[in-house]
Amino acid sequence: MLGWQTGQTTLPFAAHEPRDWNFTGGHVRGSESQQPLGVELCTPVGGSVLPDPSPERSRYGMPRGLRVTALLVLPVALAIAAVGFFLYAGAALPYQDPTPELLNSQAKDIRTSQMLLFGGLLVFIVDAIWLWRTRPGRR
């Protein structure tokens, strides 16, 4: 492997040694070629090279990817709410003789788990209502 030393870092470059392993029909170095190496470019006949800037719309007027994304958000939001619930259940267990630092840590853990639980439920409910209101066939 060829490289360039820059202090602590070595920047590697492609080597010509593995050419026999990868190209059984032969390998031509660009510097040793008698003719310039070719590049082939083509454009579609009767069309544009650039993609259509408008997103593909579904029959109910919104981009198709938006509905798929909203459907994927549902289980993620429910999983976040479930994690918050189980963290809350674990953090809410009482200690026998807690120190003030342990009580402060427990209160912080309870607040964090409540935010996860209620945040996940809120996103789930809002997403479910949005999906219901924009369902196909609704007038």
Hey, where are the domains in the chain? 64-133
For residue 49 the two structure tokens come to 């090279």
Considering only CA atoms, give the Rg of the chain.
30
The pTM of this model reads: 0.53
CA 12 to CA 27: how far, in whole Å? Answer: 20
For residue 25 the two structure tokens come to 């029909």
CA 33 to CA 18: how far, in whole Å? Answer: 18
Cβ atoms of 70 and 76 closer than 8 Å: no
pLDDT tens series, the chain, 139 aa:
444 555 555 545 556 666 656 666 666 676 777 777 665 555 555 555 555 555 565 555 666 677 788 889 999 999 999 999 999 999 888 888 889 999 999 999 999 999 999 999 999 999 999 888 877 766 5
